[in-house]
Amino acid sequence: MRVKRKSHNLDEALLHHVKRVLGAATETEAIHEALRAVLVGEGMVADLEAARGEDVFRAEFVRQMRAERRAASARC
């Protein structure tokens, strides 16, 4: 990995929160992990958009998900 030293103005509270949530040891690690998470999210969105209108889940899986969601909302 090639690293370039940068200087940015960051929200300290936000950075501290991200560091804690990600379990990062350093601020640099937290920033790198957060950037990677953005890329993963973008890939997931692209995959979902590409699959729009297609049967990407087995029918039984969809039925099970719906049943679990109904059961969970009934408990609330």
pLDDT in tens, 14-64: 999 999 999 999 999 999 999 999 998 888 888 888 887 777 677 788 888
CA distance 51 to 44: 11
Q: Which residue type sits at 36?
A: R
What total number of domains does the chain contain?
1
**Domain membership of residue 71 as a residue range:** 12-75
State the angle between helix axes of 12-22 and 27-51 in degrees (0 to 180), rounded to the nearest 10.
70
Residue 20 in any domain: the answer is yes
Contact (CB, 8 A) for 64 and 57: no
Q: Considering the entire predicted model, what is its pTM?
A: 0.61
Tokens of 30: 């937290």
Length of the chain: 76
